[in-house]
Chains A and B, each alone.
Chain A
Amino acid sequence: MAGTVTEPARTDPARIRNFCIIAHIDHGKSTLADRMLEVTGIVEGRNMRAQYLDRMDIERERGITIKAQNVRLPWRTAPDTDDAGIVLHMIDTPGHVDFTYEVSRSLAACEGAVLLVDAAQGIEAQTLANLYLALENDLTIIPVLNKIDLPAAQPEKFAEEIAHIIGCEPDDVLRVSGKTGVGVPELLDEIVAKIPAPTGDADGPARALIFDSVYDIYRGVITYVRVVDGRISGREKIKMMSNGVTHELLEIGVISPDPKPVESLGVGEVGYFITGVKDVRQSRVGDTVTLQHKAAAESLGGYRDPKPMVYSGLYPIDGSEYPLLREALDKLLLNDAALVYEPETSAALGFGFRVGFLGLLHLEIVRERLERESGLSLISTAPNVVYRVVMEDGTELVVTNPSDWPHGKMEKIFEPIVKATLIAPSDYTGAIMELCQGRRGALTGMDYLSESRVELRYTLPLGEIIFDFFDALKSRTRGYASLDYQEAGEQESQLVKVDILLQGEAVDAFSAIVHKDKAYAYGVMMAGKLRELIPRQQFEVPIQAAIGARVIARETIRAIRKDVLAKCYGGDISRKRKLLEKQKEGKKRMKMVGRVEVPQEAFVAALSNAEPSKK
């Protein structure tokens, strides 16, 4: 058998180390990954670009990873040898609470995790949540402080903090600088020494875990897998265990750092395959891949369908762009297994789509990609969560849109809740508690991570978090707090639907489901905003906030009394006519709510969280 022991398809599992990096958004994960590519020699310095592994523009610009990445790196077996006998598979994980499930699958593909913490910031809530996920998956944790080159770095303090959290000695915490490269080779050596090699049944039926799946316009869906048992080779038909569908393998390979076709992938190896399918739904994250002719009996477990947590209406600002929006969504769907949508019509906004998202960031990313990749301008309605309503007659319905809120007698209403973790300097404990209490949170625990930093655990309704919670948290803690949360089932709540009526006519885009104690505040806020945003009409326009038939707040837009140009500009009739023509053009762009002319901008402004600008 020719070739070295680290050649793909023939690597001894004992020489493989699979690891991921757990880090907060700007704690330098991508930069560290860049240095690893350099240090292991697979990307030469001159070909290096920042955030090498982040594929999407949005990822590079925002400095976040949305899709999991992976790369196969050669490394020495020990610090004192040149023997490049080790294969490192680094699996980069998405870095946001919306993608917790994807993170968990990436973690499941590894034996160890690098816990990367900014030496000037300390651990953040999201990192902590992912750390707990890693510990649940029995991963070996290698604690690392990054950015030790920063003048503001406090490695002693934060090493102590990390030691306190994971139960190691402060001296066990490695210190690196992704920027200068200091400590990176030592970190790789530590990974080799500490992280267990993968184990699996090389002769058993093949089983591989899908930890990511992306759509490429040239090649179709590219699926990333970690082989657990057996071997998957390019000549065979594979089978998805969640639904039994089989596919021909067109290509199988590894990323190092560019895709490289190989014959097969064995136990512990990480790589990709291409089957020619065009939709990531046919190759879902978390699914187990086996071979058709010698199929495994049991899947690796842990698979679940993505479940939208947040819904919002997406509408083109220019109604004629509706077909474009449909096309753009269809295209995005190929690359986003979590996206769900259906057509929706709003009296106020026209034709659009009701779209389900994993969370707020997912919403933002989808919206941004639609606008960027298809040149659309969109309005999104206020996001809402999924409610379960049990009617008095025992029937049950799931509401994803305030417009579908039932009218009849409701026995019980359930809303999704989350377990939230907040970490902040302890000075802000009071501010955070006040915020969470105002959002109907229940404190479930509190720990001091160090003398000056506190971790608070709350149960909160998800519906409260998706409405400007991040902004409120940021402003109350001057940006020092971090938040993470996980679904935690549902709770019964006294929720009502608040409608906003213009001249007695409900404007669907402004309806919201809120707790009954907050209905009044929402009504006053929305009515006040609209009074500022809607121009005066020829008649008085009452703005009402109502729960069913009961009006809870009211504002009035006084009738306009003067809309005439007094003078004739010395016979300059053209000027007058052009002015009128311009006004008529403006009128055409108005949306009619009953008889009330509402400028498009008013909808946009009212639906954004920003304060309305004064007229």
Chain B
Amino acid sequence: MSTHLPLLPAPEPPPPDSRPGPSWLPASAREQLATTPFGLYVHVPFCATRCGYCDFNTYTSDELGPGASRSEYADTAISELRMAAHVLGPDLPTVQTVFVGGGTPTLLPAADLAAVLAEVRDLFPVAADVEVTTEANPESVTPASLARLREAGFTRLSLGMQSAVEHVLAVLDRRHTPGRPAQAAAEARAAGFEHVNLDLIYGAPGETDADWDASLDAVLAAPVDHVSAYALIVEDGTRLARQIARGEHAMPDDDVLADRYERADRRLNAAGLGWYEVSNWATGRAARCRHNELYWAGGNWWGVGPGAHSHVGGLRWWNVKHPAAYADRLLQGYSPEHDRELLDGDQRAMERVMLGLRLRDGLPLEHLSDAGRVRAAELVHERLLEATPWSRGRAVLTARGRLLADAVVRDLTD
């Protein structure tokens, strides 16, 4: 049986600056396709405004060229979905999770998001308990749009709240009012969403311990079963980075970030939201974001959209970044892949540790090298790994260990 599946016939030679697409998957990547959990990610590269801290691939203009404007974007994404089904077929994996992220997915009409989801169902076998998440900005949803999304099959809503404090929201360039995220969460519950998440960012310039407590208060008062909390990362090239370079804002201090993390972990746990990934807390196993778990657990996913990353069986690839270039490739029948890497055994082993350690379920010790296992015992002693799971054969980070996760990974993979 040939595993080489030619892509759509090319009408013209590819543009000189584009690399060949994933015209086929290497046999090695295809091996576990049927038995590995599979998900789809759809990137929506539009925002109403760009936040000063954001370095995601997103654009505020709604006219980005043929196929890349907001009104045409769903169709373009759908054409990549078709390409995905073609490449992965004929025995397509069952879709366990769909995650629409951005950008601001809810800047697209609910009907467009529904059309994308309908196409997924047309093309792929879909699990009965499929998790379908969309990200949303609190100000970009209404009870009506939420009802429409729920009706289309979305099961989970992730709202970008960031903070409950006005001056912190202002520093982050967020447009919503402090009370709006909780209200949107309530609207989502009313519309029938069983799972609702609020995203928080801590450590923004000017944020105090009291501000952070206020944000945690607001989250805990909202009807959500999931909370994500990320330390503010000042990325090169962002407006925030320039403001800090000019001395208009102070760089977040690592010790302060550690304090905030510990405070969040303590308060969320006390309220029944347990950590299950370094930056994620949920009320129970069912409330966890399964799509996110897919990333950490080495699952397969196809990322649709400009700049989207995919992983199938040790092959990672990523699409061209600009929506216009992306749409142009697809319009001409080419793959939008920009580049790829096929992981070797060492890299896969390293990633397994790097990703698995972030999870509450931890990493089976047999995934470590001999030296790594010796080091793991020492790390238990240093209180970076939990003693009980270790005695049962798993490496699980302590709260302190979570804050030093990257150092632990370096230690365990020496």
Q: Which residues of A are in contact with B by a Cβ distance under 8 Å?
A: 538-539, 558, 560-568, 570-574, 576-577, 580-581, 583-584, 587
Contacts and interface: CB of A to CB of B under 8 A. Distances in A.
A577 B410 contact: no
B300 to A, nearest CB: 11
A574 B233 contact: no
The dominant DSSP class at the A interface is loop
B404 A562 contact: yes
A571 B406 contact: no
Given A561-B258, A580-B354, A570 B101 contact: yes
Interface in B376-409: 382, 384, 400, 402-407, 409
14 contacts: A560-B254, A561-B400, A562-B254, A562-B255, A562-B258, A564-B406, A565-B233, A566-B279, A567-B279, A570-B303, A571-B295, A574-B341, A577-B351, A577-B354
Given A566-B231, A568-B295, A580-B409, 13 more contacts: A562-B255, A562-B258, A562-B261, A563-B404, A563-B406, A564-B405, A564-B406, A565-B406, A571-B41, A576-B354, A580-B406, A583-B410, A584-B410
B233 A567 contact: yes
B233 A577 contact: no
Contacts of A560: 254, 404, 407
A574 B309 contact: yes
A568 B358 CA distance: 11
Given A573-B309, A573-B316, A562 B231 contact: yes
A561 B403 contact: yes
B226 to A, nearest CB: 16
Nearest to B296: A568
A563 B309 contact: no
Given A560-B254, A577-B351, A570 B56 contact: yes
B301 A566 contact: no
Given A563-B405, A563-B407, A572 B309 contact: yes
B252 to A, nearest CB: 10
Contacts of A576: 354
Contacts of A558: 255
Given A570-B43, A573-B355, A538 B404 contact: yes
Interface of B: 41, 43, 56, 101, 230-231, 233, 254-255, 257-258, 261, 278-279, 292, 295-296, 301, 303, 307-311, 316, 318, 341, 347, 350-351, 354-355, 382, 384, 400, 402-407, 409-410, 413-414
A224 B402 CA distance: 72
Contacts, number: 94
For the complex of A and B, list the 6 residue pairs with the smallest distance between their C-beta atoms, beginning with the closest: A561-B258, A564-B405, A571-B309, A566-B230, A563-B407, A562-B258
B233 A570 contact: no
A562 B257 contact: yes
Given A562-B261, A567-B233, A574 B405 contact: no
A59 B172 CA distance: 59
Which residue, of A539, A561, A583, has the highest number of chain B Cβ atoms within 10 A?
A561
Contact of B406 (A539, A561, A568, A583): A583
A579 to B, nearest CB: 8
A580 B407 contact: no
Nearest to B403: A562
A567 B41 CA distance: 16
Nearest to A586: B410
Nearest to A539: B382
B312 to A, nearest CB: 12
A580 B278 contact: no
Contact of B351 (A539, A572, A573): A573
Contacts of B309: 570-574
Contacts of B414: 584, 587
B258 A571 contact: no
A566 B233 contact: yes
Given A538-B407, A561-B254, A574-B341, A566 B278 contact: yes
Contacts of A571: 41, 295, 301, 303, 308-311
